[in-house]
Amino acid sequence: MKLLFASSSSLALRTVIFILLFIGLSQSLPDNIGDVSSFQVKYVWALITAFHLSFTFGFAMGSNEVSNAFATSVGSGAIKLRTAYILATIIESAGAILLGYKVLQTLRFEVIDLEMYAETPHELLIGQIAILGGIIWLKILYKSQSNFMLRNVDDDGKFILLTSLINS
């Protein structure tokens, strides 16, 4: 996990620069941009950046959550760590491939109206900022593991996030 975040700091910096540049360009655009297809071709880099950010965030979230599935098996000695890595890779990839398509179809046809963004693709930048925020939040949590502790369920059955500043 540390390798992912060590190599993604330059990605995060480049992404922030791209986002700021994109915001500046989108603020200076007139309301009627004319030919939509030439406008969309002009900002293909934003699509590539969004894809890269989405992949990085998905990888980070998957590596964060996979420990919940295999920690008890490895901790109890039922399976070895190497076996858990192999099983996690196969199972997580199969789940993403088999179930991801259905989730994408639900989002595409039932949740999000893509026609709203046909003439204003720069509004999709908000999604990129949200993904970048998620990556930064995961990085903060991993860097300060002693300060943040996630406890699944408290005595009342509610999910809680404990912040421990005692060790700081």
Please provide residue 72's backbone torsions phi and psi, each rounded to the nearest 5 degrees.
-70, -35
Whether 48 is in a domain gets the answer: yes
Looking at residue 17, its pLDDT comes to 63
Whether 134 is in a domain gets the answer: yes
Whether 168 is in a domain gets the answer: no
Measured in whole angstroms, the distance separating CA 45 from the mean position of its chain's CA atoms is: 18
Whether 148 is in a domain gets the answer: yes
Looking at residue 109, its pLDDT comes to 83
pTM over 0.85: no
Strand-pairing partners, residue 143, are none
Whether 84 is in a domain gets the answer: yes
Whether 136 is in a domain gets the answer: yes
Nearest to 13 by CA among 136, 143, 145, 124: 136
Q: Whole domain around residue 113: which residue ranges?
A: 2-163
Looking at residue 12, its pLDDT comes to 61
Looking at residue 165, its pLDDT comes to 35
Name the domain count of the chain: 1
Q: Quote the DSSP letter at residue 28.
A: T
Whether 27 is in a domain gets the answer: yes
Whether 140 is in a domain gets the answer: yes
Looking at residue 15, its pLDDT comes to 64
Q: What pLDDT digit, counting tens, does each position of 105-120 carry? A: 887 788 877 777 777 7
Low-confidence ranges of the chain (pLDDT < 70): 1-43, 64, 121-122, 142-168
